[in-house]
Amino acid sequence: MADRLGIVAGGGDLPRHLVECCRAAGRDVFVLALEGAAAPATVEGVPHAWCRLGAAATGLALLRKNHVTELVLAGGVRRPSLAALRPDWRAAKLFARIGYRALGDDGLLSAVVKEFEEEGFRVIGADELLGGTFVAEGPLGRLRPDRQAQADITLGARVARALGALDVGQAVIVQQGLVLGVEAIEGTDELLRRCAPLRRDGPGGVLVKLEKPGQEPRTDRPTIGLRTVMLSAETGLRGIAVDAHATIVLDRDAVIRTADKAGLFLVGLGRP
């Protein structure tokens, strides 16, 4: 069995989209689903195995046993403490070398990618499998930000870039010049839920989501999908602004239709 793709699956919709993309292309795929992160629906009807996040030796053995040659890392993983991770000997060896506590999420993912490559796997980005999904610069749907929303986007982009430079998070919510919340360990969905009760009266806010500066391009690309749009509408936002040419859009046509129907703008931001 040659050129089998392995999907190391975390949470969210991206891993399942990759599975469906591979099926449509006739690509042989094996899913290594991370316990406590991947949803059961991710592995329905596809060869798979479940693996604890800290069980690196087991995960590598499963990938080799299933003849995986290429790997894609997809979906969010809530990073545990080192004690809760319970690393096996293989993971402990990696963490001792790189300094688990000293690295931010992107630094850790970059180290993991390098480790997979040293083990002989070819690591590719999700965007290589989902061709044509990056956001272009400018509006995606029929709605556009007004002057207040544009000012909130400008502030949100400044904050998001500062967060990204510190390897903290990718997203921020701004309303009428007030930063309602920034993304940290919880992820974008929980950021939206957390900010819902913080909404001020008057024009709604915006979600700004940008790629981290210097981010490893094969991991953790900014991603939006139907859930992002629906949660943004429930939170009372007016729109979503994302990094053009770096953000993955899942179910693009459905996302645009849903945003238009909900009265939300979607816009791709150029680099400063």
Check which CATH number belongs to the domain holding 19 and give it. Answer: 3.40.50.20
Largest CA distance in the chain: 59
pLDDT by position in tens, the chain (length 272): 447 899 999 888 899 999 999 988 889 999 999 998 899 999 999 999 999 988 999 999 999 999 999 999 998 877 767 677 788 888 888 877 766 554 556 667 778 888 899 999 999 988 888 876 688 899 999 999 999 999 999 999 999 999 988 888 899 999 999 999 999 878 899 999 999 999 999 999 999 999 988 777 787 788 999 999 999 999 999 999 999 988 999 989 999 999 999 999 999 998 77
Contact 237, 206 (CB under 8 A): yes
- Residues 84 and 102 grouped into a single domain: yes
pTM: 0.84
Question: Which residues make Cβ contacts (< 8 Å) with residue 119, sequence separation at least 6?
Answer: 60
Q: Nearest CA to 241 among 164, 138, 133, 146?
A: 138
- Residues 55 and 112 grouped into a single domain: yes
Question: Which residues make Cβ contacts (< 8 Å) with residue 150, sequence separation at least 6?
Answer: none
- Residues 166 and 64 grouped into a single domain: no
Q: How far apart are CA 240 and CA 78, in angstroms?
A: 23
- Residues 184 and 209 grouped into a single domain: yes
Contact 53, 9 (CB under 8 A): no
- Residues 152 and 56 grouped into a single domain: no
Domain span at residue 201? 138-269
Question: Which residues make Cβ contacts (< 8 Å) with residue 123, sequence separation at least 6?
Answer: 70, 71, 72, 73, 113, 116, 117, 218
Main-chain phi, psi angles of 69, to 5 degrees: -115, -30
- Residues 15 and 109 grouped into a single domain: yes
Domain boundary among 129, 156, 183: 129
- Residues 154 and 118 grouped into a single domain: no
- Residues 195 and 109 grouped into a single domain: no
DSSP character for 11? Answer: B
> Which residue type is seen at 196?
A
Q: How far apart are CA 200 and CA 242, in angstroms?
A: 23
Domain boundary among 129, 147, 173: 129
Instruction: Give the number of other CB atoms < 10 A from CB of residue 93.
Output: 14
- Residues 103 and 174 grouped into a single domain: no
Domain boundary among 97, 129, 161: 129
> Which residue type is seen at 73?
L
Helices (H), 130-223: 147-165, 188-195
- Residues 89 and 196 grouped into a single domain: no
Query: Tokens 């690295």, residue?
Result: 103
- Residues 113 and 83 grouped into a single domain: yes
- Would you state the pLDDT for residue 1? 43
- Residues 120 and 181 grouped into a single domain: no
| Tally of structural domains, the chain | 2
Phi-psi region of 50 (alpha: psi -120 to 50; beta: other; left: phi over 0): beta
Instruction: Give the number of other CB atoms < 10 A from CB of residue 52.
Output: 16
CATH of the domain at 212: 3.40.140.80
